[in-house]
Structure 1
Amino acid sequence: MKVQKITIIIFLLLCAGNIFAQGELKDYQEAEKWLYYNSRAKVYNAGIQPNWIGKGDSLWYSTKTRKGNEYFLADLKKKQKTPLFDHEKLAEKISGFLHKEYKAYDLKLTGLSLKGRDTLKFTVDTSCFKINLKNYQLKLAVNPEKRNITEVPAPNNKQIAFIKDYNIYLKDKDGSNIVPLSKDGCETLSYGNSIPWEFVRNESKKQDVEYGISAYWSPDSKYLICSKFNRKEAQNLYMYHSAPEKGLRAEVYSYERALAGDTCLAKTSYVIFNIESGKQIECDLPEYASFLEGGFEWKSDKHAYIIRYQRGYQTRELIDINVETGKSRTVISETADTYVDVNMLLYRINKTSNKIIWSSEKEGWNQLYLYDYETGKQINKITKGEYVVREICKVDDKKGKIYFTACGIEKGDPYYTYLYSINIDGSGLKLLSPENATHTCSISPNGKYVFDDYSRVDLPNHFLIRDAKNGNKILDIAQLDIEDLVAMGWKAPEMYKVKARDNKTDIYGVIYRPFNMDSTKRYPIIDGTYSGPQTIRTPKSFTSALYSMDVSLAQIGFVVITVDGLGSAYRSKKFHDFSYKNLGDIGAPDHIKAIREMAVKYPYIDIENVGIYGHSAGGYDAAHALLTHPDFYKVGVSSAGNHDHRIAKAWWPELYMGFPAGKHYDEQSNLSLVDHLQGKLMLAHGNMDNNVNAASSMRMADALIKANKDFELLLVPECDHSSLYYNKYFIRKRWDYFVKNLWHKEAPDCYEIKK
């Protein structure tokens, strides 16, 4: 009996040691080091982007090195890189001119442009300069004018179209000779008065709506296509600015937004103006929902084209407009039983021939096809196979060659993008970037060179120049310097592959662990989720893995897992369509299967303590997981969640859930499932979120209260959609919530994250 008591005491002590081993002050301090803005400061030679000079035999770039901000010139013919300018000399010149000290390697030059090799134009603070790099003569330059979003200049630079009092006008370049093109515009039926998506109006101060112009000049400046907005039935969403800078009264903000399933909403039609005659020509395209509106591009002086979708996105059309008559003609039309994905369309139209390069998933994978613009008939397949074309990087019309990135051709992770070239007739497919990694590429204007940035979650970025003919390396530009990260204890997350719920399809994810993990102990596991079908969550590049919130969360004392299940992006059409009218699936069966398999493989994973967190669509996922899989998910933190897809901006749910908003919207709404809540749920939202309105979380809270469910609600003043995700207070509260409910202990008292 005595031995039994001693054994029990030892067991309890061991359990106590395990419970209190993580989630303490030291773990919070370690986690803070790995928040993106701290880890980013420890990385050098990051984010290099090519700025091609002239035809592309040279380029310049800037990056943060161990010296500071450096600017370089890469001469590709000579295969060498040198400083773009003498940093010491330039700093000295600027300091003398502005009577303020500027350090050589702390120069923050914006709007930088290079004319030839000798003349550099840039802005420092608010001063615009031009310097001759041969003799370092520095002069003030004219500040580049910010584009007035209410105006659009003609290509001949003689006239400007602008909006005023809901009508569209013309004026000469110097502002004289103002002529109205329309005269009957009003607030509810206006010409060219588009509203920028991000604009919010202060209703309390009766702020004027800040319109932008939606009008398109023909190349010869003789015709102008203008959007005509019918706002008779437009509806607004509202936000409550509870802590204004001045005064005690809260302020109400509004913004125009159509919701999924709305029939009363802003609509758009088009009119055409003959500039020489002043004649107004009606375009025969029927009026349609404004949120579907796309811009016009020009095939010739007399023919423009537009991509047009119908509600529910089951039809996509390339439409040609004859601006002399206003008559439209469908060039290409695609339909699908599910949807034609607006996010996957790639196209190029040759303005001197009748050739169209057009992507489609009509044969099950996003591939490129060649069409005839006049007849609309397919000429030939350009690419074919079970892989996904992701980007058209360049079309060389003279050589009849296309450069594109695709994923799924090479062995290994089907999400890694590689660069290829192919002839426009579909022959001569050639791999130009063979490294097993994700490649982001830019082709020089002359088509001779490729700038390639490649990495994996366990491979820091390499930046180099390749020969566009064969992919051979010409010049190493730089490699990401992570020496300081390694010294801090960085360990790359583990990549893994498991079978989906069907036990046939491979799905992919990564696991983040505490860097100080003791594999003899047990760790709760957290599912980092975002099942929005337009993308994937699992990082495929080094910096996307490094800057993930999963890194810091793991250091609190959790194993954090992410995986992309059936229905996510960049695979086959069949794989993607699994999520159609099925967003409520959230990939959870695939996530659960992956977590269970990882727990078998790694005994230190505590499968009885599973949490989940996500933002936006991931916020919906986190709450939905607790409601639909309460036996598995015990704790969830849901931020900016679109808990009912009918409360979300129209385009996103209508693309993936269809139109009209049928009963499946009801069935998959978190609001209709609140009775199933068993676990611990935190809802968080920014009250100035104009992407997913805070009403979404407030309605969820209302439903939970009516169901008499316990939960926590954090409404963060002044935060919008993205700033909530990076809000230091909310990050800490999320850590606290998981520590309290997965580690079952008190978190450090009022820990403050400092930048």
Structure 2
Amino acid sequence: MKAMLIALSLIQAAAPVSDGAQDATERSIGLRDRWQWLTRDIAFPAEWDSDGRHFHYRKTVAGGFAFVDVDAATQAKRPAFDAAALAPALARVLERPVDPLRLPFEHFAYQDGRGAIVAMIDYQPYRCTLVAPQCEKLVDRHRPRGFGVVRDLSVPALNDPQASPDGRLEALVIDDNLVVRDAGGGREHWRSADGSAGDFYDPESIAWAPDGRHVAAYRVQPGYRRIVTRVVAAPPGRVQPVLAEQLYPKPGDAVDRERPVIFDTASGRRTVVADTLFPNAYTLSNLRWRKDGRSVAFDYLRRGFDQAKVIAVDADSGVAHAAVTEDTKTFIHAERRFLHDVNDAGRELIWASERDGWRHLYLIDGTTGRVKRQITKGDWVVRDIAHVDDAKRRIWFSASGVTPGEDPYHKHWFRVDFDGRNLVRLTDGNEMHEASFSPDATRFVDVHSRTDRPEVAELRDGDTGRVIAVLERGDASALTAAGFRPPETFVAKGRDGRTDIWGLVVRPRDYDPAKRYPVIENIYAGPHDSFVPKGFWPFGGFSGGDKAMGMQQIADLGFVVVMIDGMGTANRSKAFHDVAWKNLDDSGFPDRIAWIKALAAKDRAVDITRVGIYGGSAGGQSTLNALLFHPDFYTAGVAYAGCFDNRMDKIEWNEQWLGWPVDQSYLDASGVVHAAKLQGRLLMVVGEQDSNVDPASTMQVVDALIRADKDFELLVVPNGEHAAGRTTGPVRYAQRRQYDFFRRTLLGEQTPNRNAR
């Protein structure tokens, strides 16, 4: 209570100003509503039916967007469904109005012979029938896992009997032991005898061999059940506060220990697989049987993210060997691991690796783990692997950085044979290409654009890249007439004086080069990706439209707004990425500062004596660290939902970049530990019910700032989630607070006393 009262007392109350100045923030925030539907483009790549005969996509239309279904053979188009009929059905289940032109989802998949669709809405799956539409929220019956590593034992596991390949038998777990019995709940053949509540067989891991001779499952020793408790201070429709609890493993916590066990189906003989090759696992993947039933495989990621393997186990003997081993002195980018088992036989594997300093594809001997051949090679990065054809021994993939002189983040699409020969480029032009391939890769939809070029969607041949048909051509004429101007792409050398750092510059629409403008950086420096938009600005779905629109809104208040991908972010070389290792306090600031100074040297209107910064989540942490570690350059910042102390945040994101066990690198990046260094002006915004980053992380910074007798501003959004104030909910209020904050701190303006109106 003391901390909240002190923080609230720090909110500045400014004197009333003229109506024109009072309306500046509101006018800027309203830009989204005025511009949002002025373009005509495709926001996302197409999605194909499983038979490859049709695909569908979403495109903007007057007042909103529509879903279009396309016959791949004839290119005939029709509405993907009756949106006017679907909207009322969705409104009933969501208990809120739904506009047919603004349906609350971006993607969907057909089901039941195109008689129904399934879509994600607010991170939950919903299913809607299309004839006499009715919608329902789908319930996931699987046992939840905290960030994938600790099972929530308060929720029963999905324990439906798993049928053997011939349908005669079924396996399930009873009293923590694996049981095999006749199908339909018949005679029990055998059950294990070593399961217990503290060392149980997981029914959701049961996997039958294709020949039915063996069945395997994981035996699990539970990890630490850390619970984060949040107070819901203003629950809707209620007076008294309530509590919310969440299973939330944090760095250093014990994770579930999993051990694969193989059973002979006929006898029940048990073989426990020794963990010699996979000790100290952070995660093990689902068990995968090879098609001959002689071996089972799984992926292993070592705690600390410095080793990954594919482990194959002989079903009869239980002897394991490493089919692939990937070691690094820093981190393995877990989300970018790729494995393809050629012919599902285990003899050859396609594997993505950064072992030569760039992410490339390798053909691995699955029996020895040795590299048979490096398939792709060069100072460029393999990005997405879309399709692997075992019969043709061919791979379709995207890559960036291939063309000298082009933006190194632009993706292009290629195909290549397993032996590295016949590398064929399927897309061209100095643009960003997002593609969606048919199930057999004979055709693909290519949506290409650039920050200054609207999207063009084309159906192309998957073998040659030849354009079969132009599906849609973006039109930004109305947007341009309304005053839109594309951002400037700017490149400058990084901290080493050699490496190109890429970013964007957004200026006010009434920009006057004779004036001087403060700079505001929109930062997100999470090592898991790169973040500067590359597709058409500002509304392309894969181009970072929300970032773009917000940057123009702020710029129009009288700022030059920039966004930069500094060292430590992904999609460049391994060395570029490794800057983040045990170094999250860095956030690429030496590159960012050098880049902004280079911009100012080119454009005298850029005033680097007044530099602000804002960001959310990891960007919120970087925002605070800018003020703590670089106060001579950054003087004002707005930090949304920051993971300000990595010991407080989710386990997998932080252990991946800072390692395990928890060490000094966690303290080096901590805004709590270094709070007393604050010199600039700070506004923090946090959602009370943030389930992504523990909101206590923000309050611990508040406590440390108060103890250090520092001035700051704090906005807590009741019932707000991780994106509180940035996307949905009370977004205009938080935006207004952010924009007014920068007007006061960087422009020296008096902002309105909005309580006086």
What interval of TM-score do these two structures reach, taking the shorter chain for normalisation? 0.7 to 0.9
Partners of 1:592 and 1:550 lie apart in 2 by 19
Quick one: which of 520, 524, 535 aligns to 2:518?
524
Contact 2:354 2:360 in 1 (8 A): yes
For residue 76 of structure 2, give the secondary structure of its aligned residue in structure 1: strand
- In the alignment, what sits opposite 1:476? 470
- In the alignment, what sits opposite 2:55? 59
- In the alignment, what sits opposite 2:311? 319
Quick one: which of 279, 283, 302 aligns to 1:292?
283
Name the % identity.
30
Contact 1:291 1:650 in 2 (8 A): no
Residue 261 of structure 1 pairs with residue 265 of structure 2: no
Contact 1:60 1:84 in 2 (8 A): no
Residues 23 and 652 (structure 1 numbering): CA distance in 2 closer, same or farther, change over 3 Å? farther
Contact 1:223 1:273 in 2 (8 A): yes
Residues 725 and 60 (structure 1 numbering): CA distance in 2 closer, same or farther, change over 3 Å? closer
Partners of 1:669 and 1:177 lie apart in 2 by 59
Q: CA deviation at 1:686?
A: 1.6
Q: CA deviation at 1:702?
A: 1.2
- In the alignment, what sits opposite 1:122? 116
- CA offsets 1:361-410 (integer angstroms, 9 cap, x no match): 11111111101112222111100111100111111222221111001111
Residue 734 of structure 1 pairs with residue 738 of structure 2: yes
Quick one: which of 344, 358, 362 aligns to 2:355?
362
Q: How many pairs were matched up?
A: 696
Contact 1:28 1:555 in 2 (8 A): no
Q: CA deviation at 1:280?
A: 4.6
Q: How well do the aligned residues superpose, as a CA RMSD in angstroms? A: 3.8
Quick one: which of 321, 328, 336 aligns to 1:336?
328
Contact 2:192 2:268 in 1 (8 A): no
Residue 27 of structure 1 pairs with residue 24 of structure 2: yes
Contact 2:443 2:462 in 1 (8 A): yes
- In the alignment, what sits opposite 1:307? 299
Contact 1:23 1:739 in 2 (8 A): no
Residues 120 and 665 (structure 1 numbering): CA distance in 2 closer, same or farther, change over 3 Å? closer
- In the alignment, what sits opposite 1:229? 220
- In the alignment, what sits opposite 2:202? 192
Contact 1:531 1:564 in 2 (8 A): yes
Contact 1:298 1:304 in 2 (8 A): yes
Quick one: which of 43, 47, 50 aligns to 2:46?
50
1:707 aligned partner, one-letter code = A
Q: CA deviation at 1:503?
A: 1.2
Residue 113 of structure 1 pairs with residue 110 of structure 2: yes
- CA offsets 1:698-749 (integer angstroms, 9 cap, x no match): 1111111111111122222222223453241322221121112112223244
- In the alignment, what sits opposite 1:382? 375
Residues 461 and 351 (structure 1 numbering): CA distance in 2 closer, same or farther, change over 3 Å? same
Q: CA deviation at 1:34?
A: 3.8
For residue 318 of structure 1, give the secondary structure of its aligned residue in structure 2: strand
- CA offsets 1:228-276 (integer angstroms, 9 cap, x no match): 33236443333222223465443333333332234x4443333345555
Contact 1:292 1:651 in 2 (8 A): no
- In the alignment, what sits opposite 1:675? 676
The TM-score with structure 1 as length reference comes to 0.82
2:43 aligned partner, one-letter code = G
Q: CA deviation at 1:539?
A: 1.0
1:378 aligned partner, one-letter code = V
Residues 591 and 352 (structure 1 numbering): CA distance in 2 closer, same or farther, change over 3 Å? closer
- In the alignment, what sits opposite 1:199? none
Pairwise mapping of residues 497-516 of structure 1 onto structure 2 (< 5 A)?
497-516=491-510
Partners of 1:167 and 1:443 lie apart in 2 by 43
Please identify, of 149-158 and 508-517, the stretch whose mean Cα deviation from structure 2 is larger: 149-158
Q: CA deviation at 1:191?
A: 3.2
Partners of 1:700 and 1:106 lie apart in 2 by 39
Contact 1:265 1:289 in 2 (8 A): no
Q: CA deviation at 1:174?
A: 6.9
Pairwise mapping of residues 241-252 of structure 1 onto structure 2 (< 5 A)?
241-245=232-236, 247-252=238-243
Q: CA deviation at 1:420?
A: 0.8
Please identify, of 42-51 and 365-374, the stretch whose mean Cα deviation from structure 2 is larger: 42-51
Contact 1:305 1:321 in 2 (8 A): yes
- In the alignment, what sits opposite 2:122? none
Q: CA deviation at 1:220?
A: 4.7
2:394 aligned partner, one-letter code = K
Contact 2:47 2:55 in 1 (8 A): yes
Partners of 1:22 and 1:377 lie apart in 2 by 72
- In the alignment, what sits opposite 1:409? 402
Residues 423 and 634 (structure 1 numbering): CA distance in 2 closer, same or farther, change over 3 Å? same
1:701 aligned partner, one-letter code = V
Pairwise mapping of residues 71-86 of structure 1 onto structure 2 (< 5 A)?
72-78=68-74, 80-83=75-78
- In the alignment, what sits opposite 1:486? 480
Quick one: which of 362, 372, 375 aligns to 2:365?
372
Please identify, of 452-461 and 720-729, the stretch whose mean Cα deviation from structure 2 is larger: 720-729
Contact 1:401 1:424 in 2 (8 A): yes
- In the alignment, what sits opposite 1:642? 643
For residue 505 of structure 2, give the secondary structure of its aligned residue in structure 1: strand
Contact 1:111 1:122 in 2 (8 A): no
Contact 1:355 1:373 in 2 (8 A): yes
- CA offsets 1:586-626 (integer angstroms, 9 cap, x no match): 11111111112212222222222110111111111111111
- In the alignment, what sits opposite 2:546? 547
Partners of 1:22 and 1:218 lie apart in 2 by 74
Please identify, of 359-368 and 264-273, the stretch whose mean Cα deviation from structure 2 is larger: 264-273
The TM-score with structure 2 as length reference comes to 0.82
Partners of 1:614 and 1:471 lie apart in 2 by 39
- In the alignment, what sits opposite 2:145? none
For residue 456 of structure 2, give the secondary structure of its aligned residue in structure 1: strand
Contact 1:612 1:635 in 2 (8 A): yes
For residue 601 of structure 2, give the secondary structure of its aligned residue in structure 1: helix
Residue 535 of structure 1 pairs with residue 529 of structure 2: yes
Contact 2:520 2:613 in 1 (8 A): yes
Partners of 2:614 and 2:29 lie apart in 1 by 18
For residue 673 of structure 2, give the secondary structure of its aligned residue in structure 1: helix
1:83 aligned partner, one-letter code = R
Please identify, of 106-115 and 623-632, the stretch whose mean Cα deviation from structure 2 is larger: 106-115
2:29 aligned partner, one-letter code = E
- In the alignment, what sits opposite 1:240? 231
Contact 2:675 2:708 in 1 (8 A): yes
Partners of 2:242 and 2:137 lie apart in 1 by 35
Partners of 1:50 and 1:160 lie apart in 2 by 39
Partners of 2:408 and 2:260 lie apart in 1 by 42
1:295 aligned partner, one-letter code = N
Partners of 2:84 and 2:236 lie apart in 1 by 43
Contact 1:464 1:474 in 2 (8 A): yes
For residue 534 of structure 2, give the secondary structure of its aligned residue in structure 1: coil
- In the alignment, what sits opposite 2:155? none
Quick one: which of 413, 419, 431 aligns to 2:413?
419
- CA offsets 1:199-223 (integer angstroms, 9 cap, x no match): xxxxxxxxxxxxxx34444445664
Contact 1:76 1:475 in 2 (8 A): no
Residues 156 and 527 (structure 1 numbering): CA distance in 2 closer, same or farther, change over 3 Å? same
Partners of 2:681 and 2:296 lie apart in 1 by 55
For residue 309 of structure 1, give the secondary structure of its aligned residue in structure 2: strand
Q: CA deviation at 1:644?
A: 1.8
Partners of 2:642 and 2:63 lie apart in 1 by 43
Residues 489 and 291 (structure 1 numbering): CA distance in 2 closer, same or farther, change over 3 Å? farther
- In the alignment, what sits opposite 2:146? none
